[in-house]
A = this chain, B = another copy of it.
Amino acid sequence: MSDNTKTKKLSIISFSGDFDKLVAAFTLASGSAAVNYEVNIFFTFWGLNAVKKKRGRTFLGKGFLARFFGFLMGGINNVPLSRLNFGGASPKLMTYMMRKRNVATLNELVEAAIALNVNLYACEMSMHILGLTKDDFIPEVKGVLGVATFLELSEGGDKLFI
């Protein structure tokens, strides 16, 4: 499933659904992919929100961190952003995104990562916990994984929990 002989690899466990942490995760992912790292992102718990289809259920999670998501999903008015240049310098776009904090920007972050061949995976267990199926995610999500497969894919590289 993965080429473990590749020397530079970064695997991010994207747990948080906070917009700022997702920005950090995607910035690290795309910036690393841009310098030829193999990059895997494993979306788990609230992080799954980043790869959810925009139509369908609007909110993830009941109670608990729900106010975070209410805030995050807030105004879904799709801001037209041309293209993000991660690992480079698109500060104005980023500032704009941070100020608007809407879902459109998350779409852009995901698109940039996909364009740079960042691998996206969903955590099987948290999908069960949150009552989500593979069909709830964008088609670019490569697979649904458990811990053992995650360990195989990420072996020999750096791991970050964000």
- When chains A and B are docked, how far (Å) is the Cα of A27 from the Cα of B125? 9
Chain B positions within 8 Å of A75 at CB level: none
Encode contact with B along A1-37: 1 for CB under 8 Å, 0 otherwise. 0000000100001010000110010011011101101
Question: Which residues of B have CB within 8 Å of A45?
Answer: 20, 24
Q: Across the interface, do A44 and B24 meet the contact criterion of CB distance under 8 Å?
A: yes
Chain B neighbourhood of A147, CB < 8 A? 27-28, 30-32, 34-35, 86-87
Query: Is A115 interfacial (CB 8 A cutoff)?
Result: no
Interface size of A in residues (CB-CB distance below 8 Å):
44
Q: List 12 additional A-B contacts (Cβ < 8 Å) besides A27-B125, A35-B147, A95-B129.
A: A8-B155, A20-B65, A34-B147, A35-B148, A86-B147, A87-B147, A87-B148, A89-B125, A91-B129, A158-B159, A159-B160, A160-B160
